[in-house]
């Protein structure tokens, strides 16, 4: 993007976009070489290639009724994994919902991932969150919340806490959000808090062109999101989000500057949402299929990275075929294993929020118990579903004695 149009339709010069490799994966100058060796490049590439396999399996499992919901990362693998690689594994991550790749890159096992997706007894969220709405205390990844942009002020607060906590002076908070979320009031509140309180936070704005069906052109009239950073006195850069090396470099440098001066840095990662918004969306109704094909072919972050690796002699077609096969096999095995596990007992639905549940909640629990007694044995869909729940209908009376039993407690 070299130009943009203002509200009057005047064509103006746009904030430039930082890249380190071209659309064919050829390094633009020597910077990439300084930054990345074989081991690091392969580590990134392996996580980037895992994501489409995870997406394919979860997406089709949703279509088969085995999984409740899924959101893919198709097309945004470089933005997600490039940033993950630049961060330390104990930097606090506040994510939207399309950044499960950060967790996979930090070593979240496929079993843990699938236990969350399927809401099993081993899910640390006790089966109460939708797929993609995952968290991990051990991996410093704050649980995803559906209400857009709520993570933005949280990240500013966490960054403020980090700089005041002995031993955490070298950590930042890294906050991902989409260009759609940036239309929320919380975006402005969060950015202003972070800049006035000098918080070491990295704003990682994924500009993927869409907020469900709303194209980004209908989200703002200025020069994208990067134009807003200086308005908050925040160091800002626009990055080619489909260039994994550029994202790695920019986020690494942003973190260095953020810690050096204890201040936020804003990064607009330009990318494209290749997939539908979620399993509840059909993007064919608001964008031509040809634009998806064009992006997949001409600016595919995984192809670009692969070409770069091949050009360095670090990767081969045989290794590629092997990797795809292994990823697919591992994802399917984890899903099949999680699918066999029970879900937590129904009583768990009502616990952990209130020490003394309010009357409305007590009533709902009593209602569910009454309905289970009346229909649980006879109504076929319930009968089937209850077979997969620990304790079946009786689970509504289950009193957890040992929090370790469901979800293993927070590590
Ligand atoms: C406060 C709020 N408003 C609306 C929604 C419904 N909603 C869920 S995702 C989404 C689009 C967000 O787009 P963007 O931030 O660009 O992220 P992307 O899905 O493109 O990754 C909307 C409108 C919501 N979850 N929360
Ligand atoms: Mg978007």
Tell me: the pLDDT tens digits for 140-179? 999 999 999 999 999 999 999 999 999 999 999 999 999 9
Q: What is the pLDDT of residue 333?
A: 98
State the Cα–Cα distance between residues 380 and 357, nearest whole angstrom. 31
Average pLDDT, the chain: 94
In tens, the pLDDT along 119-142 reads 999 998 999 999 999 999 999 999
3-state secondary structure of 51: helix
Whether 239 and 119 share a structural domain: yes
410 within domain boundaries: no
Q: CA 91, 94, 98, 100 torsion: positive or negative?
A: positive
Q: What is the pLDDT of residue 407?
A: 58
379 within domain boundaries: yes
Per-residue confidence at 411, pLDDT binned at 50, 70, 90? very low
Please say which residue of 322, 339, 356 terminates a domain: 339
Whether 319 and 184 share a structural domain: yes
Range of the domain at 59: 3-339
Q: What is the pLDDT of residue 410?
A: 40
Q: What is the pLDDT of residue 239?
A: 98
pLDDT over 60 at 376, yes or no: yes
In tens, the pLDDT along 16-54 reads 999 999 888 888 876 777 778 999 999 999 999 999 999
Phi, psi of 65 (to 5 degrees): 80, 15
State the Cα–Cα distance between residues 195 and 202, nearest whole angstrom. 11
**CA 113: distance to chain centroid?**
13
Per-residue confidence at 401, pLDDT binned at 50, 70, 90? low
Whether 309 and 356 share a structural domain: no
Whether 63 and 110 share a structural domain: yes
pLDDT over 90 at 279, yes or no: yes
pLDDT over 70 at 206, yes or no: yes
The β-bridge partners of 318 are: none
Whether 303 and 377 share a structural domain: no
Whether 263 and 364 share a structural domain: no
Q: CA 396, 401, 403, 405 torsion: positive or negative?
A: negative
The least confident of 60-64, 186-190, 400-404 is 400-404
275 within domain boundaries: yes
More confidently predicted of 226 and 403: 226
E-only strand ranges, 255-384: 265-270
pLDDT over 90 at 189, yes or no: yes
Measured N-to-C along each axis, helices 244-261 and 301-311 cross at an angle, to the nearest 10 degrees, of 100
Q: What's the structural domain count of the chain?
A: 2
Q: H/E element holding 85?
A: helix 77-86
pLDDT over 80 at 400, yes or no: no
Q: Residue 231: CB partners within 8 Å, gap ≥ 6?
A: none
Whether 7 and 38 share a structural domain: yes
C-alpha triplet 153, 154, 160: angle, nearest 5°: 90
Q: What is the CATH number of the domain that holds 141?
A: 3.40.50.970
More confidently predicted of 411 and 267: 267
- Centre a 10 Å sphere on the Cβ of residue 252 and count the other Cβ atoms it contains: 16
State mean pLDDT over 274-295. Answer: 95
Q: What is the pLDDT of residue 36?
A: 86
Nearest residue to 82 (alpha-carbon basis) of 131, 117, 32, 132:
32
Q: What is the pLDDT of residue 409?
A: 44
State mean pLDDT over 303-320. Answer: 96
59 within domain boundaries: yes
Cα of 59 from ligand 2 centre, angstroms = 19
Among 96, 100, 180, 217, which residue has the most ligand 1 atoms within 8 Å of its CB, making it the best to mutate? Answer: 180
Whether 156 and 236 share a structural domain: yes
Looking at residue 344, the DSSP 8-state letter turns out to be: P
146 lines ligand 1 (CB under 6 A): yes
3-state secondary structure of 203: strand
20 within domain boundaries: yes
Q: H/E element holding 303?
A: helix 301-311
pTM passes above 0.85? yes
> What strands lie across the sheet with 201-207, from one edge to the other?
141-142, 92-94, 173-178, 201-207, 265-270, 235-240
State the Cα–Cα distance between residues 384 and 64, nearest whole angstrom. 16
Please say which residue of 339, 372, 394 terminates a domain: 339
Q: Residue 124: CB partners within 8 Å, gap ≥ 6?
A: 112, 116, 135, 136, 407, 408, 409, 410, 411
Tokens of 65: 């009724």
The β-bridge partners of 175 are: 94, 203
Q: What is the pLDDT of residue 4?
A: 77
Q: What is the pLDDT of residue 404?
A: 54
Among 73, 94, 207, 212, which residue has the most ligand 1 atoms within 8 Å of its CB, making it the best to mutate? Answer: 212
More confidently predicted of 198 and 399: 198
Per-residue confidence at 405, pLDDT binned at 50, 70, 90? low
State the Cα–Cα distance between residues 303 and 205, nearest whole angstrom. 23
pLDDT over 50 at 326, yes or no: yes
30 within domain boundaries: yes
State mean pLDDT over 353-358. Answer: 92
148 lines ligand 1 (CB under 6 A): yes
Q: What is the pLDDT of residue 406?
A: 61
State mean pLDDT over 292-296. Answer: 92
Q: CA 223, 225, 227, 228 torsion: positive or negative?
A: positive
Whether 390 and 286 share a structural domain: no
Whether 197 and 219 share a structural domain: yes
Nearest residue to 115 (alpha-carbon basis) of 128, 97, 98:
128
Q: What is the pLDDT of residue 140?
A: 98
Tokens of 117: 């997706």
Cα of 216 from ligand 2 centre, angstroms = 7
Q: CA 346, 347, 349, 352 torsion: positive or negative?
A: negative
State the Cα–Cα distance between residues 93 and 87, nearest whole angstrom. 9
Tokens of 138: 């051990």
Give the atom of ligand 1 at the shortest distance from the alpha carbon of 207.
16
Please say which residue of 339, 355, 377 terminates a domain: 339
370 within domain boundaries: yes
Cα of 88 from ligand 1 centre, angstroms = 27
Whether 350 and 309 share a structural domain: no
R_g of the chain, CA atoms, integer Å: 23
Looking at residue 128, the DSSP 8-state letter turns out to be: -
- Centre a 10 Å sphere on the Cβ of residue 293 and count the other Cβ atoms it contains: 11
411 within domain boundaries: no
In tens, the pLDDT along 78-112 reads 999 999 999 999 999 999 999 999 999 999 999 99
Whether 26 and 164 share a structural domain: yes
Cα of 227 from ligand 2 centre, angstroms = 17
State the Cα–Cα distance between residues 411 and 400, nearest whole angstrom. 18
Cα of 400 from ligand 1 centre, angstroms = 35
């Amino acid at each position: 993007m070299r130009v943009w149009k203002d509200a009057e339709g005047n064509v103006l010069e746009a904030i430039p976009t930082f890249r380190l490799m071209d659309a064919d994966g050829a390094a633009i100058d020597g910077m990439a070489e300084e930054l990345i060796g074989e081991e690091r490049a392969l580590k990134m590439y392996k996580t980037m290639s895992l994501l489409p396999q995870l997406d394919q399996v979860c997406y089709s499992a949703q279509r088969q009724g085995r999984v409740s919901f899924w959101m893919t990362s198709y097309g945004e693998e470089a933005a997600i994994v490039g940033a993950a690689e630049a961060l330390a594994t104990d930097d606090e991550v506040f994510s939207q919902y399309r950044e499960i790749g950060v967790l996979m890159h930090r070593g979240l096992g496929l079993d843990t991932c699938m236990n969350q997706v399927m809401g099993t007894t081993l899910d640390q969220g006790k089966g109460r969150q939708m797929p993609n709405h995952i968290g991990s205390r051990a991996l410093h990844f704050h649980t995803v919340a559906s209400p857009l942009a709520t993570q933005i002020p949280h990240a500013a607060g966490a960054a403020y806490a980090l700089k005041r906590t002995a031993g955490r002076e070298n950590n930042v908070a890294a906050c991902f959000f989409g260009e759609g979320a940036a239309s929320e009031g919380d975006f402005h509140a969060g950015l202003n808090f972070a800049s006035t309180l000098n918080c070491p936070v990295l704003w990682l704005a994924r500009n993927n062109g869409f907020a469900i069906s709303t194209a980004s052109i209908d989200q703002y009239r200025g020069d994208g999101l990067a134009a807003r950073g200086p308005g908050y006195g925040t160091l800002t850069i626009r990055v080619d989000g489909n260039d994994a090396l550029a994202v790695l470099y920019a986020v690494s440098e942003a973190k260095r500057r953020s810690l050096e001066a204890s201040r936020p840095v804003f990064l607009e990662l330009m990318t494209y949402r290749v997939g539908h918004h979620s399993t509840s969306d059909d993007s064919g109704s608001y964008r031509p299929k040809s634009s998806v094909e064009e992006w997949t072919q001409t600016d595919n972050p995984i192809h670009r990275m692969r070409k770069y690796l091949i050009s360095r002699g670090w990767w081969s077609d045989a290794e590629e075929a092997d990797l795809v096969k292994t990823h697919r096999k591992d994802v399917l095995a984890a899903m099949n294993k999680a699918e066999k596990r029970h879900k937590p007992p129904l009583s768990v639905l009502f616990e952990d929020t209130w020490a003394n549940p309010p009357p409305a909640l007590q009533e709902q629990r009593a209602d569910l118990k009454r309905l289970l007694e009346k229909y649980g044995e006879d109504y076929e869909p319930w009968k089937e579903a209850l077979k997969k729940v620990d304790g079946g209908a009786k689970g509504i009376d289950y009193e957890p004695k040992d929090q370790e039993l469901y979800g293993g407690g927070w590590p």
